[in-house]
Amino acid sequence: MTVDIRKQLHAGSGRIAMELQFDIRNGELFALFGPSGAGKTSVARMIAGLLAPDEGRIIVDNQLWFDQLQAVNLPPQRRDVGVVFQEYALFPNMTVRENVAYGLKKEQPENVVDELLDIMELGKMEKVKPAMLSGGQKQRVALARALARRPKVLLLDEPTSALDAALRVRMQHYIRTVHDQHQMTTLLITHDVTEVIRLADRVLVIEQGNVVTQGAARDVLPLDDLRSLL
Amino acid sequence: MVDPFILTLKLALISTLILFVISLPIAYALAFSSFRLKPLVEALVSLPLILPPSVLGFYLLLAFSPERGFGDFLQRYFDIRLVFTFPGLVISSVIYSLPFMVQPFQSGFRMIPRSLIEASYTLGRGRIDTLLHVLLPNMRAALITGSILAFAHTIGEFGVVLMIGGSIPGETRVVSIALYDEVQAMHYHSANIYAGILLAFSFVILVTVYTINQRFSNNLFRP
């Protein structure tokens, strides 16, 4: 996946002139790391087709998803992408099973849902509505739902930020497991250093919409901070 | 005694069904798009809220009159006459009660978190699927409230009916008109019955609406 985008953003802290260029290898678990307000969520939204960049291109597997010069901007429905939103965004009117099944493509068999509920250990809750679930359970449903279509690209926007420490580690385990099983390209958005170290193959550090540095997590992140954390 | 009630319920039911169908697209457009003429459309839809019903009735009378353009056109080519007829009442009721349906629907659409719609899109579903499976089921309170209010408002209609329908038994003589006629004829006993039933009905309707709102607003969209 090649992302080369420019966009004027209006954040809480004022205007940000975002200018980003990065490549993610197929099958890689790639982290986008930075403080809140750096524009991380906007990057995910632009890849998902929910926000249009001002200029640039987004290419996934040789397919053009966005190109301002050629006036290409595929709608979200035609981008092969799964998104786990920061606030879960589960459908309140549907049960856990219905939420996950909502993402199925027409030709996919229903047992894809069973398999995902199994991996996420949600089998017992399949008939429950989201309002009855805990934060950790909601997040697993959101992940299962995003995976049902077997997307080429998985976007995870702060998937563990609302969880306590123990649940966070469990959720990270689920993320790593499904990423390896499904062999997707995964973009993980986070402001948590330990999460990057635990999960990511490579990381891009951004601040104010611009690249600070990128590379393997251990090389790039401030190790002193890490020692104190681990 | 019973006829005006049956006619009133028939009018309210038919008007509400028609209103439901036309209010959904109007409310959807007003909630999710912004175009230059939007304030104009919003004002037009809401006009019956503040316009004296007799004013609306007067203009509808002019429009429907078989001696003039539109009414003449309908009469000549379709043999349809709208003044002093039940179909004419239905059309006026739809216009008269439009804001009572559109406004709850519009705020119902706006109450749905943006992320639910976006989640649906990223799951490959288009606008229609999202409307049917995500938006409408999660705004049931608004749908029920709008429908009940439009229904009740049509039942309470008086000025417009008086202007456009007159008081033809079985055709345009709804309860509010029957009440007026009874008072004019000094039949206070019958007037009392009509008025009492309308009062009780209106009260029950409002209690229902507020009960529904309370029940639904308590448990939706908690993160």
Q: Which residues of A touch B133 (CB under 8 A)?
A: 91, 94, 102
Interchain contact, B126 vs A77, CB within 8 Å: yes
Q: Which domains does chain A have, with CATH numbers?
A: 2-80+151-229 (3.40.50.300), 90-149 (no CATH)
Within 13 Å, how many C-alpha atoms sit on residue B17's CB side?
6
pLDDT over threshold 80, residue A12: no
- From the options 1.10.3720.10, 1.10.10.60, 3.40.190.80, 3.40.50.720, give the CATH code of B3-34+52-217: 1.10.3720.10
Q: Which helix (H) or strand (E) holds A214?
A: strand A210-216
Instruction: Report how far residue A164's alpha carbon sits from residue A175's, in angstroms, rounded to the nearest whole number.
Output: 16
Q: Does B138 touch chain A (CB under 8 A)?
A: yes
Q: Which residues of B touch A145 (CB under 8 A)?
A: 119, 123
Instruction: Identify which of A46, A42, A66 has the alpha carbon closest to the alpha carbon of residue A56.
Output: A66
CA angle A127, A130, A135 (to 5 degrees): 125
Read off the DSSP letter of residue A124: G
CA-atom Rg of chain B in angstroms: 20
Read off the DSSP letter of residue B135: I
Dihedral sign (CA B126, B127, B132, B138): positive
Average pLDDT over residues A57-67: 95
Interchain contact, B223 vs A75, CB within 8 Å: no
Contacts of A99 (CB under 8 A, 6+ apart): A90, A91, A130, A141, A145
**Per-residue pLDDT reduced to its tens digit, A153-192:** 999 999 988 888 888 888 898 899 889 988 899 999 998 8
Q: What is the largest CA-CA distance in chain A?
A: 50
ipTM surpasses 0.85: yes
**Per-residue pLDDT reduced to its tens digit, B123-176:** 999 999 999 999 999 999 999 999 999 999 999 899 999 999 888 888 889 999
Mean pLDDT in chain A? 90
Instruction: Report how far residue B202's alpha carbon sits from residue B208's, in angstroms, rounded to the nearest whole number.
Output: 10
Interchain contact, A149 vs B123, CB within 8 Å: yes
Read off the DSSP letter of residue B185: T
Mean pLDDT in chain B? 90
Strand partners, A55: A6
Interchain contact, A145 vs B221, CB within 8 Å: no
Q: Which of A100-109, A221-230, B61-70 has the highest mean pLDDT?
A: A100-109
Cα of B180 to nearest chain A Cα, Å: 47
pLDDT over threshold 70, residue A82: yes
Instruction: Report how far residue B207's alpha carbon sits from residue B145's, in angstroms, rounded to the nearest whole number.
Output: 11
Instruction: Report how far residue B223's alpha carbon sits from residue B221's, in angstroms, rounded to the nearest whole number.
Output: 6
Instruction: Report how far residue A99's alpha carbon sits from residue A129's, in angstroms, rounded to the nearest whole number.
Output: 9
Q: One-letter amino acid identity for B186?
A: M
- The arrangement of strands across the sheet holding A29-33 comes to A72-73, A63-67, A55-60, A2-11, A14-23, A210-216, A202-207, A29-33, A185-190, A153-157, A81-84
Instruction: Report how far residue B138's alpha carbon sits from residue A93's, in angstroms, rounded to the nearest whole number.
Output: 6
A134 φ, ψ (degrees, to nearest 5): -80, 170
Cα of A227 to nearest chain B Cα, Å: 34
Read off the DSSP letter of residue A88: B
The answer to whether the beta carbons of residues B122 and A50 sit under 8 Å apart is: yes
pLDDT more than 90, % of chain B: 68
Scanning the structure block, which residue is given the tokens 């090389």? A219
Interchain contact, B121 vs A75, CB within 8 Å: yes
